[in-house]
Structure 1
Amino acid sequence: MTNTVDAAWRKILATAGEPRRPGGSPLLQPFAEMVRVAHAEPLLRQLFPWTGMWELHFSRCTEIRHTWDIPYIGTLGDGRYYVEGPSRSSPRIAETDSAQAAVAAVIDRLPPGCGPAFLGNAEELAVHERARDSG
């Protein structure tokens, strides 16, 4: 795991349980649990994590533009989770009662040879992979 990936995970872990607004949100605790469970999984821990809209995304590269080839996990208002992706236009894969089941659904759908995260953006990763695969 790179220092960049490790630092991103540390930041998300440190802030996942903090309220974003006064009064917090019912999604706060399920989101924090999801982040902890995902981080505990070595296959996901080597990927670059990023968050938004109560979702946890995983990228095979460390810089923006991230890859969109890995499903992501989101929180539902009732404390449950959903798995979608890899892109926003993909259908919902699952709704689960536990963060562990959501993480397992992502792991089952990881691309072959996924990780560790590449230092760079998606375009640089694609060039690297083409060179690696042709040589």
Structure 2
Amino acid sequence: MDARGAAEGIIEAEWKRLLGSDRVDSCVVRAAYADPRLRQLFPWVGMWELHFSRCPEYPWTWDVPYVAPRQGGGFAVAGPSRVEYVGEAGTAEAAVAMVADRLPPSCGRAAVGNRHDLAIPEQEA
């Protein structure tokens, strides 16, 4: 198996793990997995938020918005950094669409390696 195939296997395995996880809203995971643009990225969860990375190894990229649950229902879309707020959505599908519409221009299938290997600057703030 080549490096691309290995990365695809890692990414698919993580999606399958998250589809059965209780660490994040399953509706958001299912909606994101249904979008081919997001399904090709590496999903990861932190603080009940669903994040997306352009590489499957830590440290992950922080150049794609993420979805967070809102107290009382619905979702907030923020990012890519923690100080950037995109908006609110009443459904998982709407939140995922907001993320997909804001993918970086050069965003495609996640590549082997980590953020440093891809020379993508850290945007955590």
- What TM-score do you get using the length of structure 1 for normalisation? 0.79
Match of 2:97 in 1: 104
- The answer for unaligned runs of 5 or more in structure 2 is 1-6, 121-125
Question: Which stretches of structure 1, 4 residues or longer, exceed 4 Å deviation after superposition?
Answer: none
- RMSD between aligned residues: 1.6
Match of 1:2 in 2: 8
Cα distance, 1:78 vs. partner?
Answer: 1.5
Q: For residues 79 and 121 of structure 1, what CA distance do their matches in structure 2 show?
A: 33
Do structure 1's residue 13 and structure 2's residue 19 form an aligned pair?
Answer: yes
Q: Which has the higher Rg, Structure 1 or Structure 2? A: 1
After superposition, the C-alpha distances for 1:89-125 in whole angstroms (9 at most, x for unaligned) are 22x1111111111011111100112120011100101
1:39 counterpart (30, 33, 44): 33
Q: For residues 93 and 16 of structure 2, what CA distance do their matches in structure 1 show?
A: 20
Which has more helix, going by share of residues? 1
Q: For residues 115 and 8 of structure 1, what CA distance do their matches in structure 2 show?
A: 18
Match of 1:56 in 2: 50
Q: For residues 119 and 13 of structure 1, what CA distance do their matches in structure 2 show?
A: 22
After superposition, the C-alpha distances for 1:28-47 in whole angstroms (9 at most, x for unaligned) are 6xx11111111110000000
3-state SS of 1:2 partner = helix
Match of 2:60 in 1: 66
Q: For residues 92 and 114 of structure 2, what CA distance do their matches in structure 1 show?
A: 28
Q: For residues 77 and 105 of structure 2, what CA distance do their matches in structure 1 show?
A: 19
- What TM-score do you get using the length of structure 2 for normalisation? 0.85
**Percentage identity across paired residues of the two chains:** 50
- The answer for unaligned runs of 5 or more in structure 1 is 21-27, 128-135
